[in-house]
């Protein structure tokens, strides 16, 4: 954003939809990491904010809010706080996945596999989208630190993207990771995936019809049915 904002359409702008992810990430790291880069990023973000404040121009989204959602630690803590005692109108409890922040392999976590290991930075770098599904509890040497470990919650292989603009809310279904059987064995300890690419399928986790007993398949089908019914009720 080296062009002066005032020169764009003679400065007659109603809304600016920015993508200053890398600049905001640089600011979150602090000046000591990269002083020249920090000052350049600070200047670009400050110019944008000041222009919008002085010209009655809406800025989507507020850089301070963007900075929060770029940290998986902040996201997890915010969800934990906001969803405390939350539930649906039909009485279904709603909570965030349990999690632990691990700075190194010495951190003992009160979580059991399966889990998802995620970098602490949620956006702005290629590594932020490289995740691991941990399938057994001997994972210390398989995970890159620091990271956040979250319990793996079966969710009918679907996720919901929710977009909010003022009072308008738009919800879109997207494919997600598969439901994992709880009593079947696999020869894999971790499964890596990129959250910006098509998600891994059940066969990529080392489960197949030969390894899964009829009881396992019946239980998994029941889990998926219950998850689907709960989604419909919500």
Helix runs in the chain, H state only: 21-29, 35-54, 63-69, 72-82, 214-233
Asked if 80 and 32 sit in the same domain, the reply is: no
**136 near 185, Cβ under 8 Å?**
no
Q: Among 20, 41, 69, which residue terminates a domain?
A: 69
Crossing angle between the packed helical segments 21-29 and 35-54, to the nearest 10 degrees: 120
* pLDDT in single tens digits along all 234 residues of the chain: 556 777 777 778 899 998 888 888 888 877 777 888 889 988 989 998 999 999 889 998 888 888 888 889 989 999 999 998 898 889 888 889 999 999 887 666 788 889 999 999 887 778 888 999 999 888 788 888 999 999 999 999 999 999 988 899 999 999 999 999 887 788 888 999 998 898 888 888 987 644 444 444 455 555 555 544 454 444
Asked if 54 and 87 sit in the same domain, the reply is: no
For tokens 């944008």, name the residue.
48
Asked if 38 and 152 sit in the same domain, the reply is: no
Residue 230 contacts by C-beta under 8 Å, 6 or more apart in sequence?
A: 92
Q: Among 52, 69, 86, which residue terminates a domain?
A: 69
Asked if 45 and 112 sit in the same domain, the reply is: no
Quick one: pLDDT at residue 30?
A: 76
The distance of Cα 119 from the centroid of its chain, to the nearest Å, equals: 10
Question: In a 3-state reduction of DSSP, which class is residue 174?
Answer: strand
Quick one: pLDDT at residue 61?
A: 85
Quick one: pLDDT at residue 171?
A: 96
Asked if 149 and 201 sit in the same domain, the reply is: yes
CATH number for position 221: 3.30.470
**111 near 100, Cβ under 8 Å?**
yes
**175 near 181, Cβ under 8 Å?**
no
190-194 and 130-134 beta bridge pairing: antiparallel
Asked if 118 and 199 sit in the same domain, the reply is: yes
Asked if 119 and 36 sit in the same domain, the reply is: no
Q: Among 16, 37, 69, which residue terminates a domain?
A: 69
Domain that holds residue 160: 72-233
Quick one: pLDDT at residue 24?
A: 87
Asked if 146 and 228 sit in the same domain, the reply is: yes
Total domains present in the chain: 2
Asked if 128 and 26 sit in the same domain, the reply is: no
Quick one: pLDDT at residue 231?
A: 44
Asked if 41 and 121 sit in the same domain, the reply is: no
Asked if 87 and 61 sit in the same domain, the reply is: no
Quick one: pLDDT at residue 31?
A: 76
Residue 226 contacts by C-beta under 8 Å, 6 or more apart in sequence?
A: none
Asked if 84 and 123 sit in the same domain, the reply is: yes
């Amino acid at each position: 954003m080296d062009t002066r904002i005032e020169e764009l359409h003679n400065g007659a702008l109603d809304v600016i939809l920015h993508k200053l992810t890398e600049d905001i990430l640089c600011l979150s790291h602090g000046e000591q990491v990269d002083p020249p880069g920090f000052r350049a990023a600070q200047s670009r973000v400050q110019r944008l904010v000041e222009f919008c404040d002085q010209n009655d121009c809406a800025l989507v989204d507020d850089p301070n809010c963007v900075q929060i959602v770029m940290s998986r630690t902040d996201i997890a803590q915010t969800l934990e706080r906001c969803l405390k005692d939350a539930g649906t109108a039909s009485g279904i409890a709603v909570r965030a996945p349990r999690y632990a922040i691990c700075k190194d392999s010495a951190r003992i976590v009160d979580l059991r596999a399966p889990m998802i290991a995620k970098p602490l930075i949620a956006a702005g770098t290629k590594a932020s989208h490289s995740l691991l599904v941990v399938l057994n509890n001997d994972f210390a040497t398989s995970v890159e630190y620091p990271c956040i470990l979250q319990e793996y919650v079966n969710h009918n292989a679907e996720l919901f993207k929710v977009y909010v603009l003022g009072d308008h809310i738009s919800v879109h279904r997207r494919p997600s990771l598969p439901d994992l059987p709880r009593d079947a064995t696999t020869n894999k300890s971790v499964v890596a995936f990129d959250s910006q690419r098509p998600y891994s399928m059940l066969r990529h986790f080392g489960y197949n019809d030969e390894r899964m007993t009829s009881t396992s398949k019946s239980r998994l089908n029941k889990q998926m049915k219950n998850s689907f019914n709960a989604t419909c009720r919500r």
